[in-house]
Structure 1
Amino acid sequence: MDILTNSSTSAYSDLFSSLEESLSKMLSIIRKHLDMDVAFFSEFVGGRRVFTAVDQSEDATVKILAGDSDPLEDTYCEKIAFGKMSQIIHDASIHHITSNLAITDVLKIGSYIGVPIILTNGDTYGTLCCFKHSADGSLNQRDINFLIAFAEIYRDLYEDQIKDSSLMDEVSEKIRSVLELDLWSMHYQPIYDCRANSISGFESLARFNTEPYAPPNIWFSEAAQIGMGERLEIEAIKKALSNINKLNNNTYLSINISPEFILNGALVRALQNINLERVVLEVTEHSPIQHYQTFHQQLSPLRARGLGLAIDDAGAGYSSFQHVLELEADIIKLDISLIRNIHMEPKKYALAKALCAFAKATKCIIIAEGVEIVEELNVLNELGVDRIQGYLIGKPMPIAEAVAHTYHLP
């Protein structure tokens, strides 16, 4: 079954489910405040009045369901929305219009109050209405104003939903185009072994070749927001691994994934037929893991096949040490925010020193990310960092350039 289709559908379902929940809460407040039997939002569609959301008392005489509809011209809604009838009907049985409408008897309407829902472009969307089965002479302009306020809230929610849906469609189409037209590539950034004075591995990083340009984090963030995160991350891993045999046999390839796609089994499925002896999985410290036991269970068969595990971005967030303790990784990567100007900031030095000490005590390899200047490198050598990654050694490059490049410390 297509992951892209399923995940996008799920995102849309979540969007509409949230709106429905908000409408139900509003209608309950409205109905109880006005002491009515039924409150509902309606939409005018194809010449019919469609109930989009309904709240009714337990002893309501006639049960109405969301999705039920009637010919628009036969309803109170149409007449109220287009000014053919007053917005308050104290006694429907004696009103000169409602007493002759069949819907009065069908819904057992005794008294009624309603207001139109007007969109910002001036179109009439539908109505917000309430009725009870008995006459009610207490309904007044204050109650109309109360309904108007909620009708405006409904309008805003509806239009926000339309904007969100349009944005989801736009982002979904953009990502589909990138994947189908292959408008992206993988770059490879070298990881330098300070002890062996050689390249020990490469980290794979996605680059999107589109106009206008957007950085990779934006692409992956937007994909996650619309339910396409799994598809994009798994495709990136497959694309990165397609070049592993072009790298020196003594080097490994580092790939990135969000913890949720380890927990749901997506990574295991993607790596079924891959030789993992030269592959390291980087899991970011920024992404929370709710169930570490499940995380280890999912990774266990991959680890048994040789997959290495690295904690990415260590030192960047408040939960670094918990993350480090729980993951039992082979590699700890110090985040660029910790490395930048480490030679001038004692607090960064102290935290990096603690992480390095932990790594050595637990026989982990420590890698410093984002190393750009010699002064930073000198401090990292003093701390005993095993490997470095950053522009001081090399930027992310296409595979051909990464393989051909000559690497050395300044």
Structure 2
Amino acid sequence: MRFDTEAMSSDAHIRKVLNIVRTHLDMDVGFVAEFVDGKRVFRHVDGDQSPVAPGDSGLLEDSYCQRVVDGRLPELMTDACDNAEALTISATRELPVGAHMSVPLRLPDGRVFGTFCCFSFLANPSLNARDLRILRAFAAIVADLIHEELDAQRELKQKRERIEKVIANQAFHVRYQPIYRLNDETVAGFEALARFEAEPYRSPDKWFAEADEVGLGEELEIALARKALEALSEFPKDVLLSVNFSPATIMTSSFAQLFATLPLDRVVLEVTEHAAVANYTELSARLHPFRLRGLLLAVDDAGAGHSSFRHVLDLRPDTIKLDMSLTRNIDRDRGRQALASALSMFGRAMGSQIVAEGVESEAELDALRRVGVTKVQGYLTGRPMPLADAVQLVGVKSKALRKRA
């Protein structure tokens, strides 16, 4: 027997095991039950004629399961009606229960999770100790799967609580990285970037990935954007502020509420090309009223994502931002130069600005000038910085750009 662990969830594994065992033992019903607060809860059920379904429950003391675990009933009965203790349970005659097999599901720490059981409506005198050993062996597999699932649930709960705490306590700050025009060497705007203060200390992309994993991606994006957009009042009106959003968050009511009263002619919305878009027509329609109010649209990470430039083609952005994987070492790579040049030509034809991200060397800057890039952003011209430092850069020519002009 082989299970594809990549393709099957723990629940699917358990259902498969349950079906195999029930069929092999020629039983009518198989189930996995959990003991919860004095009740027996059916978690998995197999059998076309089963009188119970997943989620059903009843008093634990009224069950075979409890009495098997505490030793009042044997793990194997070829005919439950021959057992005096079993006859005290109403289900024995009401269902009826004929052959019955049940073993405890013990977790690695020794706790009894519940039981792994099979029964038939008729007696089956052919069942023997060998069949019971088979049931125990498969029960051990199921117990391991349950243990893994419980661990995964605990980890997910911890992750969710961590993200909730970050949002509630605003355990993050915003840094602003300048974006320079190459024609006059001054700041055109800033990109707002998140930095997290909470433990574990790690890169922002890992925080966002974890938030998405626990269903809090929207809440984290909105909280950070709200904080970042407070800087609009500190910058002159001709300085743009870029904020990042995933397509999924753009489609939410929280996004609409946040952008309802902003001076959108000063805001650039960056949509990452790494994120998949389920429906471009719906996304464009969602953005349309905001763009009518002046919102500028940028496609981030162009050339790096799986979207194959569909963001660029279908969203018609005002700005195309070349990913740093395309910018890096562009001075030494003719392929990168050709792609950047083609994107620059495309941008001019579509009326889009081209911003190169991740510019770190003067050689890269020279190459980007030659291929037609209009704006640059990177450590060469300015690292992400506190708001007070960013405000001081406005109107000041970049030394790095002036040196290479």
TM-score by length of 1: 0.88
Q: 2 CA distance for matches of 1:68 and 1:212?
A: 40
Q: CA deviation at 1:158?
A: 2.8
Q: 1 CA distance for matches of 2:12 and 2:185?
A: 60
Q: CA deviation at 1:212?
A: 4.0
Equivalent residue number for residue 391 of structure 2: 403
Equivalent residue number for residue 4 of structure 2: none
Equivalent residue number for residue 58 of structure 2: 69
8 A contact 2:247–2:275 mirrored in 1 = yes
Q: 2 CA distance for matches of 1:175 and 1:46?
A: 30
SS at match of 1:204: strand
Against the structure 1 CA distance between its residues 66 and 143, is the aligned structure 2 distance closer, same or farther, given a 3 Å change threshold?
Answer: farther
Q: CA deviation at 1:178?
A: 2.6
Q: Deviations over 1:193-244 (max 9, x none)?
A: 0012211010001111234422211111111111111011011111111111
Equivalent residue number for residue 35 of structure 2: 44
Moved more, 43-52 or 273-282: 43-52
2:215 to 227, 233, 240: 227
SS at match of 2:265: coil
Q: CA deviation at 1:265?
A: 4.1
Q: 2 CA distance for matches of 1:377 and 1:120?
A: 59
Q: 1:188-203 counterparts in 2 under 5 A? A: 188-203=176-191
Moved more, 366-375 or 48-57: 48-57
Equivalent residue number for residue 115 of structure 1: 103
Q: 1 CA distance for matches of 2:358 and 2:53?
A: 62
2:292 to 301, 304, 309: 304
2:117 to 106, 117, 129: 129
8 A contact 2:273–2:305 mirrored in 1 = yes
**Structure 2 gaps, min length 5:** 1-8
Q: 1 CA distance for matches of 2:17 and 2:259?
A: 48
Equivalent residue number for residue 32 of structure 1: 23
Moved more, 188-197 or 176-185: 176-185
8 A contact 2:275–2:305 mirrored in 1 = no
2:167 to 179, 187, 194: 179
Q: 2 CA distance for matches of 1:222 and 1:212?
A: 12
Q: 1 CA distance for matches of 2:199 and 2:15?
A: 42
Q: 2 CA distance for matches of 1:149 and 1:234?
A: 50
Moved more, 38-47 or 275-284: 38-47
Equivalent residue number for residue 349 of structure 1: 337
SS at match of 2:283: helix
Alignment root-mean-square deviation, CA: 2.3
Equivalent residue number for residue 7 of structure 1: none
Q: CA deviation at 1:262?
A: 1.6
Equivalent residue number for residue 12 of structure 1: none
Q: CA deviation at 1:45?
A: 2.9
TM-score by length of 2: 0.89
8 A contact 1:118–1:124 mirrored in 2 = yes
Equivalent residue number for residue 5 of structure 2: none
Equivalent residue number for residue 390 of structure 1: 378
SS at match of 2:246: coil
Equivalent residue number for residue 55 of structure 1: 46
8 A contact 1:200–1:251 mirrored in 2 = yes
Q: 2 CA distance for matches of 1:329 and 1:245?
A: 25
Q: How many residues are paired up?
A: 390
Give the residue type in structure 2 aligned to 1:320.
S
Q: 2 CA distance for matches of 1:362 and 1:296?
A: 17
Q: Share of identical aligned residues, percent? A: 42
Equivalent residue number for residue 268 of structure 1: 256
Q: Deviations over 1:151-173 (max 9, x none)?
A: 33432343333323322332333
Q: 2 CA distance for matches of 1:180 and 1:65?
A: 36
**Structure 1 gaps, min length 5:** 1-17
> Does 2:254 match 1:254?
no
Moved more, 369-378 or 74-83: 74-83
Q: CA deviation at 1:326?
A: 1.4
Q: 2 CA distance for matches of 1:141 and 1:269?
A: 66
